[in-house]
Structure 1
Amino acid sequence: MSEVIRMRGIEKRFPGVHALHAAQFDLKAGEVHALMGENGAGKSTLMKVLAGIYAPDGGSITVNGNEVSISSPRAAQALGIGIIHQELALMPDLTVAQNIFIGREPRSRWGVLNEPQINRDAEEIFTQMKVPMDPRAEVRSLTIAKQQMVEIAKALSFRSRILIMDEPTAALNEAETDELFAIIRRLKSEGVAIVYISHKMDEIRRISDRVTVMRDGTYVGTLGAAETPIETIITMMVGRELDQTAVEIPDLSGAPVALDVRGLQRGRMVRDVSFTLRQGEILGIAGLMGAGRTEVARVIFGADRREAGEIEVHGRPCAIRTPRDAVAAGIGYLSEDRKHFGLALGIDVRGNIALTSLERYSDRFLRVDDAALARVAADYIASLAIRTPSDLQEVRLLSGGNQQKVVIAKWLLRNCDILIFDEPTRGIDVGAKAEIYRLLQSLAEAGKAIIVISSELPEVLRLSHRIAVMCEGRLTGILPGGPATSQQEIMRLATQRDTVQNDRAPQGASA
């Protein structure tokens, strides 16, 4: 097979982040080449460079033997490169054919859309793909799997011979995945080269010819998919030394249960999830992108309505239908997107700390006691070591780590004793991470019950007393935190679809 893509020494920097350094990748005609790595390893960034979405800061790209500069997605399309993003970019109110040819529709000299022509052209593409599809159907009427087929047809309409698929089965069930794989095999047999980004180990063995692994923005290695044990790929993905300052795991088997979740259900992303959380415990929730971690947190907090299941708080059934109900029950949720869902960026530190507790500092005429709020804000700024010129500084001007501390202060002021931290250190520097770690540990020692959702395995192992692992909406196992568990063990459960019965939690700890 001839080489169609060669990328060498690719560099990409964003403000404060060296996303790719000396990254490399190559692709042959008629192969499926899997690109793997943990969340944040640089896989999607590297492929966005190839697709012209990001301009590289260094390195070279060769397409069909010619060194090229890919300055835009249009330039990539002209080279026969198409990308299908994990988040589908279709217009639901338009038809299948209109989505495929948007911006390139044949029109009469009076500007009238030639609808029959685009329908025939779309039908021809689906015939070549051997996929039954009505080009006149509205996209909103299609399943996610069929929408994936439309995205592939759209890429092929540009005569793409190189397809990049980013987590294409994240929202597909097993039958839909089989349907997609049949399409991929047909494209492969016609010489189309496919980059397949995925976390799912079983899929990699089924569909890929080769596997390239990235870690922390760098190239680790390329291996044949068929002859490489999954354990080898996992080791390549997570081959970092554990932080030796991991917390000592206390025996919490006798501690009261703060939160008891049983049979939680919401669609395909939360499927029969059950666990307990004890006072003074940090329960980590690990899993790969699309595993359902955030969805579980949102259901517990009432941001999404649960379809089934029960939640008990301190031994009492709790009907949580809205975030207001959760806050009244003593549950605080720190979203993974603190800037959109945790902070009011345009107001000051004092106002943000008071956001969930204003009724305690205002009278019946809604007049706010500014002096009392100033005292409270000063106390939290001191106790959490929030670095700010004053409590009247706009929170948007603080660093990421200090913004996160402001969100924590908001929930502590509300006196929430169950705290859910979703990606607590995302977007903050190493020093601020260490401060957040110490803060979470001190909160647990003070008796708070804490859930930490994180994509960083060393972080989960360092912080957690126990680790609940999810895959495709299900809880696949619970492991002890700290040195008793390896990153490889977590990754095995994170890529295993079936629920695991043998809970390795410490004796007396409940799943």
Structure 2
Amino acid sequence: MQSAVLENIQDKAPEQHEGKSRVVLAIKGLTKIYGNHVALDNIHMDIELGKVHVLFGENGAGKSTFISMLAGANLPSKGELEIGGHQGVFHSVAESRAEGIRAVFQEFSLIPQLTVAENIVLGEEPLDSIGLLARQAAVESAKELINTLGFDLDPYAYVATLPRGKQQMVEICKALRKKPKILILDEPTASLSEHDARSLFDLVLKLKKQGTAIIYITHRMHEIPLLGDVVTVLRDGKQIATVPATTSEPELIKLMTGRTLDAIYPSLNPELGKTRLKISNLSLAHELGVPNIENVSFDVKAGEIVGIAGLVGCGKSELGQACFGLKKITGGEIVLDAHKTNFRHPADAIEAGLWYSPADRKQEGLVMCRPAKENMSLSGLIWGKIAGKVLRPQQEINLLKDLSDKVEFAKERLGEPISNFSGGNQQKVMLAKGLAQDISVFVFDEPTVGVDMGARPSIYRYLADLSKEGAAILLISSDLPELFGLCHRILVMNNGAITAEFQRDEFDEHRILENFF
């Protein structure tokens, strides 16, 4: 017999009535004011059953404020919601949930000391005859839900032991245990692998078919036409437009930023020099869960930006790490400025003139509790332009001013801890660390991940300036428009091998994507 959990998410079309409105939630003039700051200004929106309504905008555009009011976690200053025949606002999360709204936020609400199953049933636990948690029933209930959603989760695992992507899946399971009328997903794929992201996409489309209304927030533009029906663009707290999800990427970028695509990407350096980085038949030691990287060959010239494209797990990040001495090389060679240099340690790479900026800047690149100025100057003290010297106050001031100017970082914020900053400003500090060295080859791994479109142009200008100064740049990115806008050439990786190369005049999204698989 099918469980109640499975009945909540089974494949059946929602009940429909001829001529009946599909609007399940009408948002009328929603406004939020903090002191003199208008965080959200007079938002009007209709959320319909069986449709995915994408919310698109830069960091600070008002998206989080908006969904927090729908979820009952934040009280509007003005405006009202119409749902289930009632008008008003939600004064609590419980009121929102009573109307069938569930939200999965970027900041999770899990209890690390509990298991996956215990977190999923939390608040609606199955009880035994004496009123205690029926653990086996909780596990079975969680198992059925996990299997139905297609997620790879162990119900017995403690949440504290799970990577962030798996924790995201637990949050989604919690939200779907009771089938909601409206599901809010806030950047749901930000921490997911390619495989898990595909499972989520399948789930969203399945829920949409069943009639669930979905509000979907994303920075990833390729997800919009894949999942969405309509897109509402927010900028500085204002509703700029609501357009079809098939709207072109350049038009969406213009709506979001107020600038055209041409204004976002700088001009390419036309003058390429000698080969600075040459990879020949490179093979890496085999690792569990990582594709075998064998016999990879390519080169990067002075002044050139070469992109590496491919799905998550194709081996592109491991290739970048190998260049920096973070992976064991078992065959082939790396030649840097005509010198064979198979690095065994990052310090060796930096000393030779190669810098690597990791994809996970918070865990691998920055000291989050320390101020920006210390993060910027620290690497220069150890390896770079002031290595081995006593750093005098004026010398540090001059260095920090120079670095801040080059990456367009606000100098008045140098004393603040890194944890205070947006993703864009954190990335600027990460980039400045590379400039504190004497570097000729830069490897950037997902340099704009978690950075909104409004903050990206300054990062793009930084890369273009490095190129024009003669640096060789290897740009690893999952963002095809970014690669198209910045690169002289694009290499495609699939299952640990380079499967195709495209010159700039050959860039074509469909042809490149074909080589991903």
Partners of 2:291 and 2:74 lie apart in 1 by 31
Residue 7 to residue 433, structure 1, CA distance change in 2 (3 Å): same
Name 1:80's counterpart in structure 2. Answer: 100
Residue 381 to residue 156, structure 1, CA distance change in 2 (3 Å): closer
TM-score by length of 1: 0.64
The yes-or-no answer on 1:32 pairing with 2:57 is no
SS at 1:357 equivalent: helix
Alignment of 1:253-402 (within 5 A): 253-258=272-277, 260=279, 276-283=299-306, 297=320, 300-302=323-325, 311-316=334-339, 318-320=341-343, 322-334=345-357, 341-342=365-366, 346=370, 349=373, 352-358=376-382, 369-370=389-390, 373-374=392-393, 376-377=395-396, 379-381=398-400, 383-384=402-403, 394=415, 396=417
Per-residue Cα deviation, 1:215-258 (whole angstroms, up to 9, x for no partner) = 646453343x7xxxx5x443442344245596553434543233
Partners of 1:245 and 1:195 lie apart in 2 by 28
Name 2:233's counterpart in structure 1. Answer: 214
- Is the 1:291–1:471 contact (alpha carbons within 8 Å) kept by the matching residues of 2? yes
Name 2:253's counterpart in structure 1. Answer: 238
Residue 83 to residue 438, structure 1, CA distance change in 2 (3 Å): closer
Q: 2:180 aligns with which of 139, 160, 171?
A: 160
Deviation at 1:415, TM superposition (A): 1.3
- Is the 1:119–1:135 contact (alpha carbons within 8 Å) kept by the matching residues of 2? no
SS at 2:214 equivalent: strand
Residue 382 to residue 497, structure 1, CA distance change in 2 (3 Å): closer
Partners of 2:37 and 2:315 lie apart in 1 by 27
Partners of 2:403 and 2:109 lie apart in 1 by 42
Residue 40 to residue 304, structure 1, CA distance change in 2 (3 Å): farther
After TM superposition, the structure 1 stretch with the greater mean CA deviation from structure 2, 401-410 or 278-287, is 401-410
- Is the 1:350–1:377 contact (alpha carbons within 8 Å) kept by the matching residues of 2? no
- Is the 1:96–1:139 contact (alpha carbons within 8 Å) kept by the matching residues of 2? yes
SS at 1:26 equivalent: strand
Residue 156 to residue 443, structure 1, CA distance change in 2 (3 Å): closer
Residue 369 to residue 307, structure 1, CA distance change in 2 (3 Å): closer
- Is the 2:409–2:428 contact (alpha carbons within 8 Å) kept by the matching residues of 1? no
Q: 1:466 aligns with which of 472, 488, 492?
A: 488
Task: Specify the code of the residue in structure 2 equivalent to 1:98.
Answer: E
Deviation at 1:71, TM superposition (A): 5.0
The yes-or-no answer on 1:498 pairing with 2:502 is no
Deviation at 1:48, TM superposition (A): 4.7
Name 1:61's counterpart in structure 2. Answer: 81
| Identity within the alignment, % | 26
Partners of 2:268 and 2:45 lie apart in 1 by 41
Partners of 1:142 and 1:404 lie apart in 2 by 25
- Is the 1:41–1:214 contact (alpha carbons within 8 Å) kept by the matching residues of 2? no
Partners of 1:59 and 1:470 lie apart in 2 by 49
- Is the 1:145–1:176 contact (alpha carbons within 8 Å) kept by the matching residues of 2? no
Deviation at 1:444, TM superposition (A): 3.4
Partners of 2:155 and 2:421 lie apart in 1 by 50
SS at 2:303 equivalent: coil
- Is the 1:4–1:65 contact (alpha carbons within 8 Å) kept by the matching residues of 2? no
Deviation at 1:168, TM superposition (A): 5.5
Residue 60 to residue 259, structure 1, CA distance change in 2 (3 Å): farther
Residue 39 to residue 414, structure 1, CA distance change in 2 (3 Å): same
Task: Specify the code of the residue in structure 2 equivalent to 1:238.
Answer: I
- Is the 1:243–1:458 contact (alpha carbons within 8 Å) kept by the matching residues of 2? no
Structure 1: gaps (5+ residues): 502-511
Partners of 2:118 and 2:428 lie apart in 1 by 47
SS at 1:319 equivalent: coil
Residue 236 to residue 369, structure 1, CA distance change in 2 (3 Å): closer
Name 2:12's counterpart in structure 1. Answer: none
Residue 111 to residue 16, structure 1, CA distance change in 2 (3 Å): same
Task: Specify the code of the residue in structure 2 equivalent to 1:415.
Answer: D
- Is the 2:265–2:461 contact (alpha carbons within 8 Å) kept by the matching residues of 1? no
Task: Specify the code of the residue in structure 2 equivalent to 1:498.
Answer: E
CA RMSD of aligned residues (A): 6.1
Residue 182 to residue 222, structure 1, CA distance change in 2 (3 Å): same
Name 2:122's counterpart in structure 1. Answer: 102
Task: Specify the code of the residue in structure 2 equivalent to 1:220.
Answer: A
After TM superposition, the structure 1 stretch with the greater mean CA deviation from structure 2, 45-54 or 270-279, is 270-279
- Is the 1:361–1:369 contact (alpha carbons within 8 Å) kept by the matching residues of 2? no
Partners of 2:38 and 2:441 lie apart in 1 by 35
Task: Specify the code of the residue in structure 2 equivalent to 1:163.
Answer: L
Name 2:138's counterpart in structure 1. Answer: 118
Deviation at 1:327, TM superposition (A): 2.1
Task: Specify the code of the residue in structure 1 equivalent to 2:97.
Answer: Q
Partners of 2:473 and 2:273 lie apart in 1 by 17
Deviation at 1:33, TM superposition (A): 1.4
Partners of 1:142 and 1:69 lie apart in 2 by 36
Residue 282 to residue 84, structure 1, CA distance change in 2 (3 Å): same
Task: Specify the code of the residue in structure 1 equivalent to 2:99.
Answer: L
SS at 1:237 equivalent: helix
Residue 312 to residue 87, structure 1, CA distance change in 2 (3 Å): farther
- Is the 2:184–2:215 contact (alpha carbons within 8 Å) kept by the matching residues of 1? yes
Per-residue Cα deviation, 1:331-380 (whole angstroms, up to 9, x for no partner) = 224457767734576469478524443478999xxxx753x655653553
Task: Specify the code of the residue in structure 1 equivalent to 2:174.
Answer: K
Partners of 2:234 and 2:292 lie apart in 1 by 29
Give the total of aligned pairs: 473
Deviation at 1:211, TM superposition (A): 2.9
TM-score by length of 2: 0.63
Deviation at 1:81, TM superposition (A): 1.2
Structure 2: gaps (5+ residues): 1-20
